[in-house]
Structure 1
Amino acid sequence: MPRSASGFPDEVDVAIVGSGPAGAAYARALSELAPQLRLAVFEAGPLISDPPGTHVKNIVDPEQRARAQRASEGPRPIAEAVSTDTMDDYASDQPTLQRPGTFLLEKTRQRASEDGLPAAAMSSNVGGMGAHWTGACPRPGDSEVIDFLPELTDWLGEAERLLGVSADVLADAPFADEVRKRLSVTLDHDRPRDRQIQPMPMAVRRTPDGQLLWCGADMVFGDATRTNPNFSLHAEALVTQVLLAEDGQGEQSEQGGRAVRGVRARDRRTDTEHQVAARYVVVAGDSLRTPQLLYASGVRPTALGRYLNDQPQLVYAVRMRDLPDLPPTPDDGVGVTASSGVAWVPFTDAHPYHGQVMQLDASPVPLADDDLAPGSVVGLGWFCAKDLRAEDRIAFRDDELDGYGMPAMDIHYRLTEADHAAIDGARTEILHAAAALGEPLDDTPPLLFPAGASLHYQGTVRMGAIDDGTSVCDPTSQVWGVHGLFVAGNGVIPTATACNPTLTSVALAVGGARSIAAAES
């Protein structure tokens, strides 16, 4: 691929902005379906692992893992002295919650009449949040499903292939079956068979020697992308603008709208700017920075940044009762032992919550008893679907820039009466589930995390069946009225979900990539 002196290509067919799971899915699918296309991925953050995009849990050396997490924390990393143990302060009662490998919005500007998103956080590194996530990949159900996509089931299956999803890898853990049995007796009586208690599908695999490997963007890229001579990856390359053909200039869409002609990128190592011509641009950032880039590029449909939704999250912990003794099991270095498992309580419209129950040797709450059997402390996390409103939005400022020199963000966000009712229902259900499993560790009630702590933001560049002002992109993820401009990531999901969104966002990326490949065939 021809390159300028900067190392950036002068011209590509597809420029992908963002190297997380959704951006990686575009690169992988296009490498497999249209290998003749020249692809370039631009990532604002640094390269933190080899191969690129590796999950930090797979970095064996703890000091190297800590350096990778710190390097992912944006313009102002957490102080070196602060622990990078992801369980530290996990369930402490604090107004914000920042996990290692992420950074908070610089200013939340929470209004007195609003709830805001005080814990809204992002990651900047090759692999994006896919280098730090939990790996849970449940399929959406009932009203979580995008009903105007007949291909969605097929796309979800392909997403499971790219992410290496398995429901079996932790399903046979010694206590896992007992957890599922107890939950099933309590919760399954009015659930459809396919939405009953079951092992959580996880983007995790076990090596022949028993080691757990967590899927990051490296697995999604795969060998098909890494060996593609038409593919290049550029770290510390901040895309500041999608370049568009103005009316009467360059390629126009069949509908007479605008069309992409490339991107402007800043090499953050040399502080120099470069233009890269492209026929397609895929903006695959997170749900905050994807609409930010569109706004900075003058692409400002009515729904841009709107329908912002987080998943209210409750956590609780119990000590399981009446468990058999197990021999000691080795820790894999990241808090998971051979006795651990993850049970899934699926979302249904009758029970509009998503639950995941994890056996933890490092409890998410302080333990009074240090003599606990490995695997006997069970952490419960319940997520609620948000009441979707156009008023919940990101507003971008023309008079202030963030740490990357992009338009600063103002968050407008409020929990409605329906949201509070859902949270109350989830609190009741999590206590019901906990009682079936064992005894609470203390008299602390379930903790509601600060808004934004789920890291599951969605909706800000949402997909729609028609261009009626309530969506940003069409069913192929192409932005309405801008030929060749695609959006990707959790922000594309238009439904109110409670389940972890990564599988769905990767599935939508598969659909978008297939539409590009079909147009080039």
Structure 2
Amino acid sequence: MTGRFPESVDVAVVGSGPCGAAYIRVLSERRPDLRLATFEVGPLLADPPGLHVKNIADPAAREHAQRRSQGPGTAAADGRLARPGTYLLESGHTEPGGDGLPNAAMSSNVGGMGAHWTAACPRPGDSERIDFLPGLDELLDEAERLLGVDAHAFDDAPFAAEVRKRLADALDTDRPPERRVRPMPLAVHRAPDGAVTWSGSDVVYGDVSRANARHTLFPEALVTRVLVEKGRATGVRVKDMRTGTEHTVLAAHVVVAADALRTPQLLWASGIRPAALGRCLNDQPQLVYAVRLRDVTASDGDSDGVGLARHSGVSWVPYTDAEPFHGQVMQLDASPVPLADDDVPAPGSIVGLGWFCAKDVRAEDRVEFDADRVDGYGMPAMRIHYSLTARDHATLTAARAAVRRAAHALGDPLDPEPRLVALGASLHYQGTVRMGPTDDGTSVCAPTGEVWGVRALHVAGNGVIPTPTACNPTLTSVALAVAGARHVADSTRQEGK
């Protein structure tokens, strides 16, 4: 699947994360005759391309893959700490007068953040849903197929059923049946022997993409510009990161699926600057808490760092309009905080609670780009303007109360209060190239993902999501990518390609 650059293709895809992979998968299934190319700024980590790093059995090899994903950024000596496989913004993450996103992070590697994510795939509900998008549920079904989602991978985990029962007793009273506590749908595969592997972009690509001789993946290839003529995308300008040389690749259609920060960056660098570009930046303020389960017996579950231990499971407390946050409760192999020397808990008896809050979406929260400064790739430097509003603080207050209820139902909290994680740490950035029903200046693209005013240019990824979601966004963004890929497949057919 690797090689160097052609002179022209039918569809050029920028980014090899789950959404870029979804475009290639759908086009490989629907239009196997098209010439497809994917350009990824980062390196190829493993075989198959896009493999989740947690599936790399050797710990040293896994750590090496994570380090190679960390781009030109920093691990930060200023108190910020990037997660393995990601890198932080060097500067511009917190502008004067705002809260900023100090932990805003990215990954540069084949598979994108899909090589490092936690694989949670909840469906959006209530106001999280995109009400103007036809056929959303069918698109979510298709996204589950591409990601290999399983809602029952850990139904037999020793503590999982008890955790869900305790959560349900404390939280489900006023919830509609479809938004009650349940197992978290996860993009994982469980083998007959119980071994668990994580879905990365490799699963989304699937065998059909890997067998498609008309698709080529180009690692270490930085797209610096989308070419536009007479209101239509005509190709991309690509820098070969191995040699430093630049090349023009013509394309009948271009898809930018970088991430919610670098997709608007590339459009801005290309002179494509609709009013909504970079605006409505939406992180998910996150509260975390740790609890020792009450009255549980020891489990013999174990983990080698590749999959989840047998006693582990993930429970989901869905978002509702009445409680605009969602929770996930993950059983941990060890306490995330120090325990007393004489306190040795049963394996798996410490659970972590993470509550994600829906952001008060505002145009003022935005990522801007600097014409006079560049980042480590030579692209326009980012400046993030972002603040929590009074409404956000009210949501956090309500979420803290919900987390406390959940924690005390489960057992004994290990900290006095839930902790607000540094902003940006969710890695769930959205809204910067948001979808809208009409070209009214408040959105960047149509429901098909096509950028307003630039034919044959599509955007994809979490940045397309227009709603104030609290649930993990990957399933939704892949569903939107499916819609966009179908539109490209239909458009190329109408154009006679």
1:261 aligns with 2:234: yes
8 Å contact from structure 1 (residues 492, 505) kept in 2: yes
SS at match of 1:482: coil
8 Å contact from structure 2 (residues 198, 307) kept in 1: no
How many angstroms does 1:301 deviate by?
0.1
8 Å contact from structure 1 (residues 163, 203) kept in 2: yes
Aligned to 1:324: 297
Which stretch of structure 1 is more off in the superposition, 332-341 or 306-315?
A: 332-341
Aligned to 2:468: 496
CA distance in 1, matches of 2:256, 2:439: 19
Which residue among 328, 336, 339 is the counterpart of 1:356?
328
8 Å contact from structure 1 (residues 242, 260) kept in 2: yes
How many angstroms does 1:418 deviate by?
0.2
Aligned to 2:100: 116
1:192 aligns with 2:141: no
Aligned to 2:50: 53
How many angstroms does 1:266 deviate by?
0.4
CA distance in 1, matches of 2:340, 2:87: 31
1:28 aligns with 2:25: yes
How many angstroms does 1:151 deviate by?
1.3
Aligned to 1:483: 455
CA distance in 1, matches of 2:390, 2:79: 21
Which residue among 57, 64, 68 is the counterpart of 1:67?
64
Summarize the alignment of residues 402-481 of structure 1 with structure 2, pairs less than 5 Å apart: 402-443=375-416, 445-481=417-453
8 Å contact from structure 1 (residues 13, 39) kept in 2: yes
SS at match of 2:384: strand
CA distance in 2, matches of 1:417, 1:335: 40
1:203 aligns with 2:187: yes
How many angstroms does 1:367 deviate by?
3.1
Query: Using a 3 Å threshold, how does the CA distance of structure 1 residues 32 and 310 change in structure 2: closer, same or farther?
Result: same
Letter in 1 for 2:293: M
SS at match of 1:148: coil
Which residue among 13, 26, 30 is the counterpart of 1:16?
13
1:42 aligns with 2:39: yes
How many angstroms does 1:231 deviate by?
0.4
CA distance in 2, matches of 1:29, 1:214: 21
CA distance in 1, matches of 2:387, 2:296: 43
How many angstroms does 1:488 deviate by?
0.2
Aligned to 1:145: 129
1:221 aligns with 2:205: yes
Aligned to 1:309: 282
The answer for unaligned runs of 5 or more in structure 2 is none
1:157 aligns with 2:141: yes
CA distance in 2, matches of 1:304, 1:419: 23
Deviation per residue, 1:60-80 (Å, 9 max, x gap):
00000000000000014659x
Normalized against structure 1, the TM-score is what?
0.92
CA distance in 2, matches of 1:500, 1:230: 33
SS at match of 1:481: coil
Letter in 1 for 2:159: F
CA distance in 1, matches of 2:5, 2:113: 24
CA distance in 2, matches of 1:436, 1:173: 19
SS at match of 2:340: coil
Deviation per residue, 1:2-43 (Å, 9 max, x gap):
x9xx82111100000000000000000000011111110000
How many angstroms does 1:284 deviate by?
0.1
8 Å contact from structure 1 (residues 336, 360) kept in 2: no
Q: How much is the aligned-residue C-alpha RMSD, in angstroms?
A: 1.6
CA distance in 1, matches of 2:9, 2:85: 31
Which stretch of structure 1 is more off in the superposition, 164-173 or 22-31?
A: 164-173
1:134 aligns with 2:106: no
CA distance in 1, matches of 2:372, 2:183: 49
1:176 aligns with 2:160: yes
Which residue among 482, 486, 489 is the counterpart of 1:510?
482
Letter in 2 for 1:321: R
Which residue among 367, 371, 385 is the counterpart of 1:398?
371
Which stretch of structure 1 is more off in the superposition, 106-115 or 498-507?
A: 106-115
Letter in 1 for 2:320: T
8 Å contact from structure 1 (residues 171, 342) kept in 2: no
How many angstroms does 1:95 deviate by?
5.5
Summarize the alignment of residues 339-378 of structure 1 with structure 2, pairs less than 5 Å apart: 339-368=311-340, 371-378=344-351
CA distance in 2, matches of 1:366, 1:49: 35
Aligned to 1:212: 196
1:271 aligns with 2:268: no
Letter in 2 for 1:217: S
Residue identity over aligned pairs, in percent, reads 66
1:283 aligns with 2:253: no
Q: What is the total number of aligned residue pairs between the two structures?
A: 492
Letter in 2 for 1:183: L
Deviation per residue, 1:125-148 (Å, 9 max, x gap):
000000000000000000000000
CA distance in 2, matches of 1:368, 1:393: 44
8 Å contact from structure 2 (residues 74, 90) kept in 1: no
SS at match of 2:263: helix
CA distance in 2, matches of 1:224, 1:110: 43
Letter in 2 for 1:75: P
8 Å contact from structure 1 (residues 341, 358) kept in 2: yes
CA distance in 2, matches of 1:72, 1:460: 23
How many angstroms does 1:336 deviate by?
2.7
8 Å contact from structure 1 (residues 239, 266) kept in 2: yes
1:520 aligns with 2:492: yes
Letter in 2 for 1:438: G
CA distance in 2, matches of 1:121, 1:134: 15
8 Å contact from structure 2 (residues 430, 464) kept in 1: yes
CA distance in 2, matches of 1:265, 1:12: 13
Summarize the alignment of residues 381-392 of structure 1 with structure 2, pairs less than 5 Å apart: 381-392=354-365
CA distance in 1, matches of 2:6, 2:340: 58
How many angstroms does 1:350 deviate by?
0.7
Normalized against structure 2, the TM-score is what?
0.97
Letter in 2 for 1:338: R
How many angstroms does 1:109 deviate by?
5.2
Aligned to 1:89: none
